[in-house]
Structure 1
Amino acid sequence: MLDKTKKDWWKSAVAYQIYPKSFQDTTGSGVGDLQGIIKRLDYLKTLGIDVIWLSPVCASPQVDNGYDISDYRAIDPMFGDLDDMRQLIQEGKKRGIGIMMDLVLNHSSDQHRWFLEAKTSRDNPYHDYYVWRDGTPDAFPNDMQATFGGPAWEWVPEVGQYYFHQFAPQQPDLNWENPALRREIYDMILWWMEQGVEGFRLDVIDQIAKEPDNKITNNGPRLHEFLRELSAETFQKGCLVTVGEAWGADIPRAKLYSAPDGSELSMVFQFEQMVLDQQPGKDKWDLAPLPFVKMKQSYARWQQGLHGCGWNSLFLDNHDLPRIVSRWGDDGEYRVQSAKLLATMLHGMQGTPYIYQGEELGMTNVRLPLEQYQDVEIHNMYKKRLAEGYPEEEILRSIYAKGRDNARTPMQWNGQENAGFTTGTPWLPVNPNYTSINAEAALADPDSVFWYYKKLIALRKEYPVFVEGDFTLLEEEHPQLFVYRRSTKNEQILVVCNFSGTDVSWSLPGEWTTAEMLISNYPSQVQKTLRPWEATILHRAL
C-alpha cells in the first residue's frame, strides 16, 4: 500500500478512471451509481490500483453527462447522495484506494444558483461570475463558435447581454477574472478535501483564462497565474494528486503545469499522441491511419522533455476517446495480444498511468444504430455533416471509429443479461460481445488481459526504474517496432513491442540476451523473430 503522506506519492501510483453512469447499477435504474462502485472496490483492489478518478458525480442537469454542474457540493440523485460519497471515500481508504474527483471549473450549468442569479440583473453580485458582453439580439459580439457547434454566445433579454459558452449553451463560462468567484471555488475545493478526497482531475483547465474579445480560449495570458493561486489556496494544503485536462499543452507549458515544486499541478493530460490518427488540420472525425513513426517520436519527446523537470500522465483510453484496442490494436484475432502490447508500451514509460474502466478487459468499440447513441457530440456532428453533403456511410464510419459512446457502453461484468451491469434497461446499450469479454471470464483465466495489467501495476511498485529511469528510443524509424530503454545508474529495462499482425525479424542487442524477462504477452522469450503483436519487458541490473 502506498504511503500517501509522502510528497509525490502519485509518481508510483496507478489510477483507474470510472465513468459512474456505466460502471455498476445497484437500483435497476439502468444508470450506474456510487453504491455500485463500492460493490466493486474489491475487484479494483485485486487489480492493484491506488486511485480512482471519478468522472463527475456532482448535481447536474446532465446536458453534457455531468460536465455541467449545478451544485458543486451535492451529489446528483441518479448516483446517490453525500452519505454514499462519504462511504465510498471511506471504503476506498480501507483498501488503499483514494478518490480523485472530477471538477469542472471552466464553466457551470445554467441551472447553478450563481447563473440563475447572474441573469436577473447586471447589478446582481453574481452577474460578474460569468462572461458577458453587450450586443443586440441579431448581432453577436463576435463570430466565435462553440466546441459543440453553433455560436459561442447566448442572448439573455433580461439583462440585454450575451453570455459566453465554449461548449453547450447550457454551460456558461465562469469569469476567473473575478476574485469573488475564485474564492468560492477555493472554498468548495477545501470542503471536498475535508471530506477526504485525495485528488482532483480538472476539466479543460487550460481554458479558464479565456479572453473572448481576443478570440483566446485556451492558454490565456493569466492561466498560470490563476493556477498558482488555485494551488496555493487549496492543493498545497494537503498531499494531493492533481491532473489538468489541457488539449493545448505543449512541453514548455507542461513543465509549468507539472513543475516539481508543486506550484501548479501534479501533471496534465496532453493529447499530442491522441490526435495523430486524424487528417492534419482537420478534426477527429476526419480519419487517417496512425503515423506510427511519428507516434513513437511524440512519446519520446514527452518522455525526454519532462524527465527531471515535470511529470507525464500516461493514458490510452478515457470517457472521451474510443477504445484503444479497436483504435491502435487489433480487436479481432489478436485482441488479447494487442491489448496487452498497448498496456506494455504505456506502463513501461515514466509517468502516472491511468486505466479506463474495461481497458483491463480489452473492451472494444461498438456499432449502434444512430438513434441509440446518447452523446450530444455524435448527433450534432451527424446533422452538421449530413447538411454539408458528406455521405452517410462516411459519417457513420467516423462515429464507429471515434464516437465517445464507444467508451461509455456499460462495464462488462459477466455473461449474464446486460453483462451484470443492471437488472433494468441500460441507459446505453451493452456491447454485444459481453458474453465473451467480461470481468468474470477474465478473472477465471490466468492468461487474461486483466491479470497482465495486474502484473504491470505490480512491476511499477517493485522496480524503481519504472518511476525514475530516463528514456531512450531505439529503432526510431522502424515501421513496426516500438523499442525503448529506461535507465537509472543501478538498472535498466528494455521494452519491445511489435505493433503489427505479422512476424518481424529482429534480434536482441547482445547485452540483453541474458536479461531477465519481467513480463511478456507470449509464453517464451524473445526469439530472432517477433510474433504478431508481441510485447516484452526485459530487466538487467547494472
Structure 2
Amino acid sequence: MKKQYEKKWWQQAVVYQIYPRSFQDSNGDGIGDIPGIIERLPYLEKLGIDAIWLSPVCKSPQDDNGYDISDYQDIDPMFGTLADMEELIRKAKDHGIRIIMDLVLNHTSDEHPWFLEAKKSKDNPYHDYYVWEDGVEGELPNEMKAGFGGPAWEWVPELGQYYFHQFSVKQPDLNWENPKVRREIYDMILWWMEKGVGGFRLDVIDQIAKEPDLEITANGPMLHAFIREMSRETFQKGDLITVGEAWGADVERAKLYSHPNGSEFSMVFQFEHIGLDQQEGKEKWDLAPLPLVKLKKVLAKWQTELHGKGWNSLFWNNHDLPRIVSRWGNDGKYRAESAKMLAVLLHGMQGTPYIYQGEELGMTNVQFEDISHYRDIETLNMYKERLEKGYEKEDIMASIYARSRDNARTPMQWDDTPNAGFTSGTPWIEVNPNYTRINAGKELEDPESVFSFYQKLIRLRKEHPVFVEGEFHLLLPEDPQIFAYTRRLGDTEMLVCANFSDQPATCPLWKEWKDGRVLIHNYPGEYEEELKPYEAVMILL
C-alpha cells in the first residue's frame, strides 16, 4: 500500500518546552536567561530530545509574559541579546537540537514602533496595520469583551477612534486584511529562518482573521487562506516544524491545519482533553473529578480521525497548565509511578510529544501558604474577584493549588543546593520546597528515576516505526480504571496498558499479551494480571 505521507523529521521527534524565565539563571538576577539555556544543553542532549520550543524571548514590555512583542527582530534584555540567541541556535545544533520560536502574529505590543506610528494620524502609513473603528467616546462599537476582562475596544481621543484588542489593552490586534502587514510578517519569519531556527509555534493563530464588526474572532472566513499564503511565502522554503495554537480547533479544522501536503502547519495544539476536569459551563477554577472514560474517548477520536489525514501534537503540560502528576496522577505516595504511567500513555500515541520543563523529573504543583507568594496575573485577579464575591479563602486557595499557572512556572529543580541550582540570587518566584527531594541531580544518578524512564521512551520512539506510523485502536473503552490501546503497523502490534488509578485493577487483556516482549514497564519485576496502582506497561507482539 502506498504511504499516505512522506515521513518528516518532526514526526519522529520529541520537543521540549522551555519557559526561559524559570529554566536557568546565568547572571544572578533571579530570572532565567538564554545563556542559562546554553549552559544546560548537555542535559537536554542526554534526555534525548530533538527540539526546544522556547516561550517568547522577543523584546517586550512584559505586560503578558512576552506575548506582547515590541520588536520581532530583537531579544528582550531580560533574557540576553540577539548574539546570545544566535549562539543558542548554533550550539543547540551542535547537540543535535533545533530551536522553535514562539511567534505572536495576532497582535503586537502597544509599544511596537508600528503602533506608535499608527496612533499619530489616520493618514499615517502604519495606521491601517491595526483594526480601528470611528466612534464617539463612551459609545463602544459593539459589546465584544477582551480575553483578559473589560471591553475589546480602547478609545484614542487624538484620533476619535477605537482600536480593537482581543487580549490586554496593551496588545492591539494586527489587521491581517492589509497585505503590507502580511508582507512585514513574512519578511520577519524569513529573517529568523536565515538565522537557522528549526520552526515556529504560532500563538492564538486561529484569531488572525477576525472580523470585529461581525463579532467574529476565531476561525474567521479568511483564516485558512491567510495561513496557506504565509506557509507558501515562508515555512515551505525550509525544513521546519510549525505548530499552531488553536483553542477553537475541532478534528475537521485540524485536518486543514495539519494536512500531509504541508500547505498550512505541521500540526496544531488542540485542548479538548484539557477542560475535562472542570465543572461544565464554569471556569477552570471550578474543579471536577476527571472522567477517565471521557478522556479515553476524546484522545481516541483525535488519534483515529487524524491518522493519515493530519498530525497530532501530544501534551499533558505547558506554561499555562498545572503539573500533570499533581493533576491526574498522585503526587504523594505514587508520584514516580503515576508520572511514568502518564508518560507511557502519551508517548505511545501517534503524534509529536511535547515535554514541558520538569515534567521529565516528575515535578509537582506548588502550594504557597499565602497569595502574596504568587505572581501570575490571572491567579491574583481570580483571588481578588472571588473574595469580593464571598467565596471562602480556603476554597479559593484549593482552586489555586490545583490550577494556577504558577504551578508550571516555579523554577526548574536542578539540584538540592539553595534555590535548586536555578539562581545564585533571589528567584523571581519561589522554588517549590520539595526540590531537595525532586531534582535533576538525584534523578540523573538513578536508573529507576522518572528522568531515566523518559530517556528510554524517547529512545523507543526512534527505534520502532510503529510509534510514528501505527494505527491506533482503543481497548476497554468503558473500563473505569484501565486505559489501554494498541498501535498496529503491518505485522507489528504494540499494546499500551495502564492502570489510571490508585487502586489495583484486573486487566482482561493479560492472557493474550503475557508472552509479548516488554518494551517498558514502570514497576520492577514481571507484570501480573492484577495491575498495581498506576502500573503501566508497553508490550510488543
Which residue identity does 2:497 align to in structure 1? V
CA distance in 1 between partners of 2:222 and 2:394 (Å) = 44
Which residue identity does 1:218 align to in structure 2? A
TM score, norm. by length of structure 2: 0.98
Counterpart in 1 of 2:42?
A: 42
CA distance in 2 between partners of 1:85 and 1:207 (Å) = 28
CA distance in 2 between partners of 1:395 and 1:116 (Å) = 40
Q: Secondary structure at the match of 2:128?
A: helix
Deviation per CA, 1:327-369: give whole Å up to 9, x if none. Answer: 0000000000000000000000000000000000000111222
8 Å CA contact 1:507–1:527 kept in 2: the answer is no
1:211 corresponds to 2:211: yes
Q: Secondary structure at the match of 1:114?
A: helix
8 Å CA contact 2:26–2:423 kept in 1: the answer is yes
Counterpart in 2 of 1:517?
A: 518
Counterpart in 2 of 1:411?
A: 412
CA distance in 1 between partners of 2:191 and 2:526 (Å) = 52
8 Å CA contact 1:410–1:428 kept in 2: the answer is yes
8 Å CA contact 2:147–2:166 kept in 1: the answer is yes
Counterpart in 2 of 1:314?
A: 314
Q: Secondary structure at the match of 1:320?
A: coil
CA distance in 2 between partners of 1:333 and 1:511 (Å) = 31
8 Å CA contact 2:146–2:166 kept in 1: the answer is yes
CA distance in 1 between partners of 2:120 and 2:477 (Å) = 60
Instruction: Report 1:128-277 matches (<5 A).
Output: 128-277=128-277
Which residue identity does 1:467 align to in structure 2? V
CA distance in 2 between partners of 1:164 and 1:143 (Å) = 12
CA distance in 2 between partners of 1:321 and 1:414 (Å) = 24
What number of residue pairs does the alignment pair up?
535
8 Å CA contact 1:53–1:102 kept in 2: the answer is yes
Which residue identity does 1:520 align to in structure 2? H
CA distance in 1 between partners of 2:70 and 2:247 (Å) = 24
Q: Secondary structure at the match of 1:197?
A: coil
Counterpart in 1 of 2:74?
A: 74
8 Å CA contact 1:285–1:402 kept in 2: the answer is yes
Structure 1 residue 509: Cα displacement: 4.7
Deviation per CA, 1:362-415: give whole Å up to 9, x if none. Answer: 001112221221111112222233333333332222211111111000000000
CA distance in 1 between partners of 2:275 and 2:231 (Å) = 29
Structure 1 residue 286: Cα displacement: 1.5
8 Å CA contact 1:106–1:204 kept in 2: the answer is yes
CA distance in 2 between partners of 1:65 and 1:116 (Å) = 21
Mean Cα deviation higher: 520-529 or 314-323: 520-529
Q: Secondary structure at the match of 2:107?
A: coil
Structure 1 residue 225: Cα displacement: 0.7
CA RMSD of aligned residues (A): 1.0
Which residue identity does 1:453 align to in structure 2? Y
Deviation per CA, 1:468-524: give whole Å up to 9, x if none. Answer: 000000010000000000001131110001011111122435432210000000112
Which residue identity does 1:227 align to in structure 2? I
Which residue identity does 2:115 align to in structure 1? F
Percentage of matched positions with identical amino acids: 67
CA distance in 2 between partners of 1:427 and 1:386 (Å) = 26
Counterpart in 2 of 1:3?
A: none
1:65 corresponds to 2:88: no
Q: Secondary structure at the match of 1:336?
A: helix
Instruction: Report 1:291-306 matches (<5 A).
Output: 291-306=291-306
Unaligned runs of 5+ in 2: 1-5
Deviation per CA, 1:136-166: give whole Å up to 9, x if none. Answer: 2211111111111111111111211111111
8 Å CA contact 1:11–1:351 kept in 2: the answer is yes
Unaligned runs of 5+ in 1: 1-5
1:426 corresponds to 2:448: no
Counterpart in 1 of 2:388?
A: 387
8 Å CA contact 2:482–2:507 kept in 1: the answer is no
Instruction: Report 1:499-538 matches (<5 A).
Output: 499-538=500-539
Counterpart in 2 of 1:355?
A: 355
Which residue identity does 1:469 align to in structure 2? G
CA distance in 2 between partners of 1:444 and 1:137 (Å) = 64
CA distance in 1 between partners of 2:540 and 2:483 (Å) = 17
Instruction: Report 1:321-336 matches (<5 A).
Output: 321-336=321-336
Structure 1 residue 7: Cα displacement: 6.2
TM score, norm. by length of structure 1: 0.97
Q: Secondary structure at the match of 1:143?
A: coil
Q: Secondary structure at the match of 2:80?
A: coil
CA distance in 1 between partners of 2:145 and 2:128 (Å) = 22
Counterpart in 2 of 1:113?
A: 113
Mean Cα deviation higher: 225-234 or 213-222: 213-222
